[in-house]
């Protein structure tokens, strides 16, 4: 029997560009998982098929890591491609931010877990390229899990990345400039997430994607006093180092883990 028949597909729990995510049950292990189903006919060109292939390959290559979503299985038949994933809580970081700003210790704990995941990816020469709150999930133990490696790409010496990928609010300016770029694009996106966690708003916004892109390209980072009055100086210092327009001067994920605000757990001193 085909592998697909080992899983009982239950209700829909998420949706993306090419596929749909369902909760599923695997009777032989008595476990519930998430099943990401991609319709092959939606994968029109080679680039799209590449995305699917790299998604499963990247997740297998990166596992196991406490902050990277675990992949259980991946298989294809004529019409569909399926990735079976560890099942997470229904609420992503997007939903948590939508409830309002987070306290600094909470934000520091979450961004530390994201930086741990990114340090691991970058050390293995993989950039995620689609870091955004919808792609940050939580397991039963409330651990942050980086997921959705469909935009990931290998990089390295003599292998710069190019191509516009990512989401308007979170995309780094060098990606929009159409130049070659490196893994620091993930640090920029993580900085934008940290800003949104502490204030409830993204640092660069507009009424259309084009307007958001303009704001990202200006990269004029501001801390409006009404919102940021209560945010600590070390938190703002880390934000400036992550949301830095020049990627060569931008902090790395590894360095950011050693930043005083992260080391103090976001606890204000004095």
What positions carry a catalytic annotation?
Answer: 130
The b-or-e profile of 21-54 (16+ CB within 10 A means b, else e) is bbbbbbeeeeeebbbbbbeeeebeeeebeebbeb
- Is the separation of the CB atoms in 97 and 196 below 8 Å? yes
Least Å distance between CB 14 and ligand ADP?
2
Interface pattern 147-176 for Mg ion (x via CB under 5 A):
-x-x--------------------------
Least Å distance between CB 151 and Mg ion?
6
Q: Among ligand ADP, Mg ion, none, what does residue 244 contact (CB within 5–8 Å per kind)?
A: none
Tell me if residue 78 falls in helix, strand or coil.
Answer: coil
Q: Which residues bind ligand ADP (CB under 6 A)?
A: 13-14, 16-19, 21, 34, 36, 69, 85-88, 92, 134-135, 137, 147-148, 150
Taking the least distance from each CB to ligand ADP, the nearer of 64 and 158 is: 64
Is residue 92 close enough to count as binding Mg ion by CB under 5 A? no
Question: Would strands 80-86 and 71-76 be described as parallel, antiparallel, or unpaired?
Answer: antiparallel
CA distance 39 to 24: 17
Interface pattern 97-136 for Mg ion (x via CB under 5 A):
--------------------------------------x-
Main-chain phi, psi angles of 185, to 5 degrees: -60, -35
How many other β-carbons are positioned within 10 Å of the β-carbon of residue 9? 14
Least Å distance between CB 74 and ligand ADP?
13
CA distance 154 to 235: 31
Taking the least distance from each CB to Mg ion, the nearer of 149 and 195 is: 149
How many residues bind Mg ion, per CB under 5 A? 4
């Amino acid at each position: 029997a085909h592998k697909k028949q080992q899983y009982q597909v239950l209700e829909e729990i998420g949706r993306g560009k090419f596929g749909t995510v369902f909760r599923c049950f695997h009777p032989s292990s008595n476990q519930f998982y998430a099943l990401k189903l991609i319709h092959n006919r939606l994968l029109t060109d080679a680039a799209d098929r590449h995305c699917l292939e790299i998604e499963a390959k990247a997740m297998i290559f990166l596992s196991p890591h406490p902050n990277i979503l675990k992949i259980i299985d991946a298989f294809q038949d004529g019409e569909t491609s399926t990735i079976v994933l560890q099942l997470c809580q229904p609420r992503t970081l997007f939903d948590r931010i939508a409830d309002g700003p987070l306290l600094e210790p909470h934000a520091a704990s979450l961004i530390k877990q994201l930086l741990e995941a990114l340090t691991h990816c970058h050390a293995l020469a993989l950039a995620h390229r689609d870091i955004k709150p919808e792609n940050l999930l939580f397991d039963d133990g409330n651990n942050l899990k980086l997921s959705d490696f469909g935009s990931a790409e290998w990089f390295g010496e003599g292998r710069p990345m190019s191509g516009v990928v990512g989401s308007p609010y979170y995309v780094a300016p060098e990606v929009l400039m159409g130049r070659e770029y490196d893994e620091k694009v993930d640090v920029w996106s993580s900085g934008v997430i940290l800003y949104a966690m502490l204030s409830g708003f993204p640092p660069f916004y507009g009424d259309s994607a084009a307007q958001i892109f303009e704001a990202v390209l200006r990269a004029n980072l501001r801390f409006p006093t009404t919102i940021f009055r209560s945010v600590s100086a070390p938190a703002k210092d880390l934000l400036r180092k992550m949301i830095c327009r020049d990627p060569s001067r931008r902090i790395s994920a590894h360095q950011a883990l050693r930043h005083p605000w992260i080391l103090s757990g976001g606890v204000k001193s004095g």
